[in-house]
Structure 1
């Protein structure tokens, strides 16, 4: 017996509801994947503890770029690693390390800063370097901020309605800060995008370095001896293959203390890996270790098959960044 019109209508409504639900699930799955991968469709990044090798934090290429910028701005100002950790934990809580153009009321950007509260114009706040610099400018005015619990120091800058929320991000921020300041060696990796279409090659890397660190990352000042500058240290150069940027490693100040060449070198190397997807970087090498985009495990391996001691001696004074063809 044919179904009555009401029964057919009910089945029709159920069918349409089911189809709409499937579409909704598909869209939700796509958005989740875009969030997890930073919108690139590629695997993400990972930082591990230098001590244990098991404690880890995984994050997206978008987050990696922003974390590297926040760190570079802090060390370029001569601030200690603790300041960087506080800044990274704050950005993790406020925006998940994403440069978002929305938030509570008029809050914007990595730190959810508000134009109406004097943090700058919308355009300024949406510039990660400006936003990080503004955060640090407020942080250093907090008395004894390096000795305060992280959540207290962050709250005195942010004036958040959820002051305890920053604490849960301290472990991840600590791992990121150790790697991106260069204190821990060969601990940050990203899958990268091997074979990506080449855009500006080494010139794009140079521009991004100058943006985050300042011109000194490319053209370090000569050492001062007896009140006068000695022979200037080598500048960043592009090798004859047109793909390799060689970055000189010189010591610099961190919180009033001299940082080791190794720490400076690993900061530059990790910065390059963090920016690999955006800048189409294919390979980074430093101190006898090499990272290559597209490796299954994305580890830092011994460079060129040479003995570790010799390789470290040969490459401890420069970081080599190879862009895609």
Structure 2
């Protein structure tokens, strides 16, 4: 009977080593993909810091930044207080992680996991972040004294969640986001500004996104005073006459309380930074400060061409 070939065990051992190496490589590749998509450590993303110098920070992904900016824009355009935006952001953080999910428990969908079967709207509507935020606020303002209630109570009266206390753990992060995205805190939100492969570009894309989040009517002067009971006068986005053809100048209304005007300006400036990756925005200037994409610290620096009366947005093309 012939003896077994001595090369067979060696070949099998070599194949096992190669297979194990491939498994490790696949695992590493999968980890890197997940880290990139979810905004893991070292992945370009966004960050908001406290305007109170208490060291509080929150880091999040460009996808989350776009959705958070939409939620804040819809709320402020309805003249709702910062507390309403905080409640909405905390709710979306718990329900979807600020991602526009196309799945959920039973027929739950979108940022707030709203159910079409429960009267929240059609599937297409609840998957539209602007609509989803708007319908959330419509329910929230019907809650009596919601600004005085604990966040968990106010959110629960809208959502009817099976885990009402879960909203509490997102309150601090939501407060940081709301302060920046409503313009209460100046120069506190930054993003790396790394565009995705399918990112829109150009002034027209910026203008379309402004109308998407703030509404077409929001860019019509109404004569109402800023901070008054009626809709505040809002800027009309206009492409500048600069030869580069890459600049959008968004006027900030000069009427009304100076503080409210500054808040509106910082809301628009932070909105632009939050949308930097999605719209290939390279520079945002306002009130003597400028943010530029690609900086390792991605901070707001002194300088730039933005004034107190206009936010200047420069796109990559």
TM-score by length of 1: 0.83
Contact 1:196 1:280 in 2 (8 A): no
Contact 1:219 1:235 in 2 (8 A): yes
Cα RMSD (Å): 3.2
Structure 1 residues 196 and 143 mapped into 2: Cα distance closer, same or farther (>3 Å)? Answer: same
2:58 equivalent to 1:57 = yes
SS of residue in 1 equivalent to 2:47: strand
- Give the structure 2 partner of residue 151 of structure 1: 152
CA positional deviation for 1:235? 3.6
CA positional deviation for 1:119? 1.1
Runs of 4+ in 1 over 6 A off after TM superposition: 3-10, 194-198
Unaligned runs of 5+ in 1: 225-231, 305-310
SS of residue in 2 equivalent to 1:113: coil
85-94 or 26-35, larger mean C-alpha shift = 26-35
Contact 1:247 1:320 in 2 (8 A): yes
Structure 1 residues 74 and 13 mapped into 2: Cα distance closer, same or farther (>3 Å)? Answer: same
Structure 1 residues 127 and 252 mapped into 2: Cα distance closer, same or farther (>3 Å)? Answer: farther
SS of residue in 2 equivalent to 1:298: coil
Structure 2 CA distance, aligned partners of 1:298 and 1:243? Answer: 21
CA positional deviation for 1:213? 0.7
- Give the structure 1 partner of residue 316 of structure 2: 324
Structure 2 CA distance, aligned partners of 1:11 and 1:117? Answer: 59
2:25 equivalent to 1:33 = no
Structure 2 CA distance, aligned partners of 1:280 and 1:252? Answer: 31
- Give the structure 1 partner of residue 268 of structure 2: 268
- Give the structure 1 partner of residue 291 of structure 2: 291
SS of residue in 2 equivalent to 1:164: helix
2:80 equivalent to 1:79 = yes
Structure 2 CA distance, aligned partners of 1:7 and 1:238? Answer: 72
- Give the structure 2 partner of residue 220 of structure 1: 221
Contact 1:288 1:303 in 2 (8 A): yes
Contact 1:188 1:273 in 2 (8 A): yes
TM-score by length of 2: 0.85
Contact 1:251 1:260 in 2 (8 A): no
Aligned residues: 305
Structure 1 CA distance, aligned partners of 2:211 and 2:53? Answer: 34
Contact 2:77 2:218 in 1 (8 A): no
CA positional deviation for 1:233? 8.8
Residue deviations 1:117-138 (CA, integer Å, cap 9, x gap):
1111111111001111111111
Structure 1 CA distance, aligned partners of 2:36 and 2:270? Answer: 24
Structure 2 CA distance, aligned partners of 1:60 and 1:44? Answer: 5
Structure 2 CA distance, aligned partners of 1:18 and 1:174? Answer: 47
Residue deviations 1:35-79 (CA, integer Å, cap 9, x gap):
3339xx960000000111621000000000000000001111111
275-284 or 113-122, larger mean C-alpha shift = 113-122
Structure 1 CA distance, aligned partners of 2:71 and 2:217? Answer: 17
Structure 2 CA distance, aligned partners of 1:247 and 1:116? Answer: 40
- Give the structure 2 partner of residue 141 of structure 1: 142
Unaligned runs of 5+ in 2: 226-232
Structure 1 residues 154 and 251 mapped into 2: Cα distance closer, same or farther (>3 Å)? Answer: farther
